[in-house]
Homo-oligomer: A and B are copies of this chain.
Amino acid sequence: MLEQFKVQPKDQVIVSENNLRETVEAIFSKMGLSKNDIELAADVLVKADMRGVETHGVSNMLRSYVTGYGDGSINPTPNWKITRETPSTANIDGDQGIGIVMAARAMDIAIEKAEKVGMGVVTIHNSRHLGMASYHALRATEKDMIGMCMTSCPPSVLPTWGSEPLLGTNPIAVAAPGLKEGPFVFDAAMSAVAGNKLGLARRNETQLLGGWVADSQGNPIMDEVDPPPPGYDLSDREGGASSYLLPVGGTRELGSHKGYGFMCVVDILGGIMSGGGYGINPGRPNFGHYVAAYNIEAFMDTGEFKETLDEFLTMLKTSKPAPGHDRVMYPGLPEVEEHKLRSEEGIPLHYEVVEWFQDICAELSIPMNWKK
């Protein structure tokens, strides 16, 4: 993890996985979710924190979900339904249900289809934020399949050479099962940094690096710069913004057209093809999602696949590092290590996050017995 996003020791409060899970479940229960959905929703958030993915754990997301349930923009008991279906595909109307639950349910449908006909692809429109995209991709690995998940988000990122934030950060996640290594997990926003990370950098009192944001005219800023102030609207198109997100690559010369292209792909597969439209569509408050499950056995022997994946991942992690680096990591390895560490030592939350929990638990009359 880059320094910008680590909770500094002076600001840390340590909480156990069980304590955090219990409290998060109690909050979702107060929001009116069904019993099945409560456990799943809490699992998505707590797993993100356990894996060290602060951007998508309780600190960033839970408060926005609570706000969404409060103002009616998220439906706690969605009557979601399949609007179109074939043996290997489905499209779901999420009835404004939260994506962290909807995408997991959709992945279960994709897995079932992949078991029967080799592949399953399910899109979802009229849903909300889906949390850590790799959570849903990982669900397929538990069934010895390869999982993929994308989500078409509200606009906050400039196209290459553009000055208006027309694209979402639009993360893509892919997970594949190994034997002793892995799972392989790739999960990344197609912007240079995830939008959530600007807030994390601010809370940690650090600067944004060059190539992450552009100024209000659309010029990429290639030096370090202060994060935008709290409450700042990254999607403000009127030029009143002090900074916009850049696609991964930063500038055309460094390859920002590749990040830009992937953002479009996610808007097309998860947004337009789900029938929900793209990020900046007038009147579109929703996120469009895309999940896919690949039945490895449809292509080759699953055991052989997992052995070869182990070999591939081992080759990467044992390769010689460049000067100044201790080792090479494969995608997913830092998160597995962080999960192990946090299982033993607990989750370090920023004290501001703990204060938020104290406030919301008091407001909702939830007992909060966090032990260090």
Contacts of A258 in B (CB 8 A): 188, 190, 248, 259
Q: Give bound CA distance, A312 to B272, whole Å.
A: 9
Q: Are A163 and B248 in contact (CB under 8 A)?
A: no
A15 interface residue per 8 A CB criterion: no
For A268, give its contact among B193, B274, B309 (CB under 8 Å). Answer: B309
A264 interface residue per 8 A CB criterion: yes
Decide: A161 near B265, CB < 8 A? Known: A89-B298, A192-B254, A321-B218.
no
Decide: A328 near B159, CB < 8 A? Known: A219-B322, A312-B278.
yes
A357 to chain B, nearest CB (A): 31
A162 interface residue per 8 A CB criterion: yes
A65 interface residue per 8 A CB criterion: no
Contacts of A308 in B (CB 8 A): 272, 277-278
A337 to chain B, nearest CB (A): 15
Decide: A323 near B219, CB < 8 A? Known: A89-B119, A253-B2, A272-B312.
yes
A304 interface residue per 8 A CB criterion: yes
Q: CB-CB contacts of A266-299 with B at 8 A, as 1s and 0s?
A: 0111001111011010000000000000111011
Q: Are A118 and B89 in contact (CB under 8 A)?
A: yes
Q: Are B118 and A118 in contact (CB under 8 A)?
A: no
**Binding stretch for chain B, among A22-30, A209-217, A364-372:** A209-217
Decide: A209 near B250, CB < 8 A? Known: A322-B162, A328-B159.
no
Contacts of A86 in B (CB 8 A): 117-119, 295, 298
Q: Are A91 and B166 in contact (CB under 8 A)?
A: no
Q: Give bound CA distance, A292 to B266, whole Å.
A: 15
Q: Are B88 and A163 in contact (CB under 8 A)?
A: no
Decide: A296 near B319, CB < 8 A? Known: A121-B118, A278-B312, A331-B257.
no
Q: CB-CB contacts of A295-307 with B at 8 A, as 1s and 0s?
A: 1101110001100
A341 interface residue per 8 A CB criterion: no
Q: Are A321 and B87 in contact (CB under 8 A)?
A: no
Q: Give bound CA distance, A121 to B119, whole Å.
A: 8
Instruction: Among A252, A265, A278, A294, find the residue whose CB has the most chain B CB atoms closer than 10 A.
Output: A265
Decide: A158 near B322, CB < 8 A? Known: A2-B253, A87-B87, A305-B273.
yes
Decide: A267 near B312, CB < 8 A? Known: A299-B273, A322-B214.
yes
Decide: A300 near B325, CB < 8 A? Known: A159-B319, A249-B248.
no
Q: Are A88 and B158 in contact (CB under 8 A)?
A: no
Interface residues of A in 119-160 (CB under 8 A from B): 119, 121, 123, 146, 158-160
Across the A-B interface, give the 9 residue pairs with the lowest CB-CB distance, nearest first: A218-B322, A86-B118, A89-B118, A186-B261, A161-B325, A88-B88, A248-B255, A88-B119, A87-B117
23 cross-chain CB contacts under 8 A? A2-B253, A86-B119, A86-B295, A86-B298, A87-B87, A88-B119, A119-B121, A159-B328, A160-B328, A161-B321, A161-B322, A161-B325, A188-B257, A211-B255, A217-B323, A218-B320, A248-B255, A248-B258, A250-B255, A273-B305, A274-B299, A275-B299, A278-B308
Q: Which residues of A contact B (CB under 8 A)?
A: 2, 84, 86-89, 91, 117-119, 121, 123, 146, 158-164, 166, 174, 176, 184, 186, 188, 190, 192-193, 209-211, 214, 217-219, 248-250, 252-255, 257-262, 264-265, 267-269, 272-275, 277-278, 280, 294-296, 298-300, 304-305, 308-309, 312, 315-316, 319-325, 327-331
Known: A162-B321, A268-B312. 9 other contacts (CB 8 A): A146-B273, A159-B328, A186-B265, A188-B261, A209-B254, A248-B248, A248-B258, A254-B254, A272-B308
